[in-house]
Amino acid sequence: MCFVMPLRVKSIKKGKFIMETGRAVEQAFAGKVKVGDYLICQQDMAVEKVNQTAARAMRQAIKGVSDEQN
C-alpha cells in the first residue's frame, strides 16, 4: 500500500507544476490547476486536484500515522 501526501503548487514553469517541496511534476490528469492548489502526485505526474479541506485532512491523517510509528 502506498500513501500519497497532497502537495501545494508553488509555481508553474514551462508547463510543469513546481510543488512546495521543490519537485517538478507534469500535468497528466489534474485538469485546470493554479498556484496554491493541492495535487495528488504519483512519481512525476499530477494525478488529481483536491480541495484544501481534503488536502489538510489527508496530510493530518498521514502525519498522525507517521507520528505513531516513532
Cell (9 digits) for 24: 517538478
* CA–CA separation, 58 and 56 (whole Å): 5
Contacts for 21-25: CB closer than 8 Å, 24+ residues apart: none
Give pLDDT tens digits for 28-66.
777 889 999 999 998 889 999 999 999 999 999 888 776
- Read off the pTM: 0.83
Question: How many other β-carbons are positioned within 10 Å of the β-carbon of residue 49?
Answer: 19
Looking at residue 36, its pLDDT comes to: 97
List the domain boundaries for the chain: 7-69
* CA–CA separation, 46 and 44 (whole Å): 7
Domain 7-69 in this protein, CATH class: mainly beta
Looking at residue 70, its pLDDT comes to: 53
